[in-house]
Structure 1
């Protein structure tokens, strides 16, 4: 994606931290849903957008996002930073990302544990990494650069994977734990990604979730996946984001919230976009689980009359 006259990093631009979202459920924002959203009173929850769709200076995308941001908290989710890539971060891309964060003051900012570039080629995929000391050092350096630029912590999303590297010397959860420890970033825990990777690689999703540093999780993603088979006839799950959340993923999520407590939760739906009420219903299902495990208010203390 090319843009003319990339903005420079502006360290004096004021940044504010909106109030925390708490245990609320949100949805991906799709422009096709804007009329239906605006026709209703402001709803509980939040909206998430992909940063790269709003890196121009103005036009209809920003007018739409401004209309949403007026009454709803926002999460900005980057998909092209290539934090795991071998090359230095693209300075122009980082500048646009930072200015977008400053412009909309989102409650949450996130990126992926993945790479998507090679030399001058950009892939339309979030590719997995070998979990080694060298990769860890590079990823942490890139996260430090992003957090320094936006002057706030980011959340790093665990990937969905279809291959594993023989060179890996640590587990994915140990790798994530080391990143959090070194950089101070948080985690965006994608439960669907955990389930997809678990089926594809034959490990237990429950054990993976037990190994995740849950105290660092600042947001959860839920999404649909498609079921295929590989060349040997074994199940192969694809993180397609084009349908409702699967029952197995809902079960993992409900168990996680019961153990850990409510965390801001997003329903991702990026293909075969349904009508707005369908997406609302998915968010309502997540909200019901969050509310079920919300802390009960402290009992009111009544004092005897003097």
Structure 2
């Protein structure tokens, strides 16, 4: 018997029932079930709005049967009958190299500057004031799409590869600065405190503690942005006249309407993306073993 006169087994069952009935609360006071309900509510609302827009849209006199059959015919031509006709394979590979060079330059420029800005934007390294100022600045950069930055810089340098490199680098700067600063803030604070206790300067803390600790994360974010820049460079080849394989893809699809060449160029792009991913994984594995 317990102190309040109830059998011990009944008291234990009552406590178990009460503990199971209590919904665990998150840090913001909302339980996981309530949070899940809110997510489903938002998703359901978005699905209904999308369905309404799809139904109420004016499609004109589209023959859906003909449109769907034509789409599948184009996909069959692109993926099963790929062939280069207006350019040779050598020229196509050269254009891929140009696109690759644009992506590489923009990534290198933005990554180097982002390391410096990321160090100053991290609260545990640069202070609250500089952190708020830099994070606000890069948030503004990220809010404007890459193509808009390219067009803004095209006013000064004209449409071409120069405007594309500057515009893509500028947008990448905003992206990588945010990622790098968060990586610096998430590192173990004991490393910084230990170096400060030895009398290390700010630069010594950075080069002896911060960068060696976060190098894997920095490389991972840099390679991710490199892959993004490669895809963006494809679009800028057509939109901003930057050249590269993106311009050939645009001409084949919109000017010549040559689906076979679209397929061949698409396969070259996919092959390059697979190679970039393989190199990225290899480098990250080599860093993980050190």
TM-score by length of 1: 0.24
Bigger RCO (CA 8 Å, 6+ sep): 2
Q: Higher Cα Rg: structure 1 or 2? A: 2
Relative to its length, the structure with more strand (as a share) is 1
TM-score by length of 2: 0.25
Relative to its length, the structure with more helix (as a share) is 2
